[in-house]
Amino acid sequence: MRALLVGLWLFALLDPALGANPWVLWNDVSLACEAKGTLDKSEGMILIGVWPTYETCGEQLQAKATSLRQDGPSDRQGPEVKEFRITQEGNIITQTSTLKDGGICTSSFRLFCLPDTTDPREPKSR
């Protein structure tokens, strides 16, 4: 019995994924558009996917960030858009459209990985 326990313990040391939780890639989205004296806002948390390791989740985060940065002006250039700009600060990508009437619309995407045991949509306990 003791040999079995020692064997299981050694197996757990050699397999770092054993008992590890999957990792979830989240996108915290914030949209705001101020035009003609009106401000429209929307926020939401989007679950993008689940991966077995933090490293894999991080790779997917980088791929998603690249995708958001590569959205070209042609993707957002409507008849009312004067200028379109994409910026990145850390894990936050912001797409800003300046409208011909002086209004500004902003889409902000904050990407992050959390263990599947943590749901950022749940209220924080005090």
Residue 45 pLDDT grade (very low, low, confident, very high; cuts 50, 70, 90): very high
The answer to whether position 2 is within a domain reads: no
The answer to whether position 69 is within a domain reads: yes
Give the total number of structural domains in the chain: 1
The answer to whether position 8 is within a domain reads: no
User: Which pTM was predicted?
Assistant: 0.73
The answer to whether position 50 is within a domain reads: yes
Which domain does 28 fall in, by range?
21-115
- Average the pLDDT over 19-45 and give the result: 91
pLDDT tens for residues 62-90? Answer: 999 999 888 655 555 677 888 999 999 99
The answer to whether position 68 is within a domain reads: yes
Q: Compute the distance between CA of residue 105 and CA of residue 17 in angstroms, rounded to an integer.
A: 43
Of 119, 116, 118, nearest in space to 22 by CA: 116
The answer to whether position 37 is within a domain reads: yes
The overall average pLDDT reported for the chain is: 82
Is residue 60 within 8 Å of 50, Cβ to Cβ?
A: no
The answer to whether position 3 is within a domain reads: no
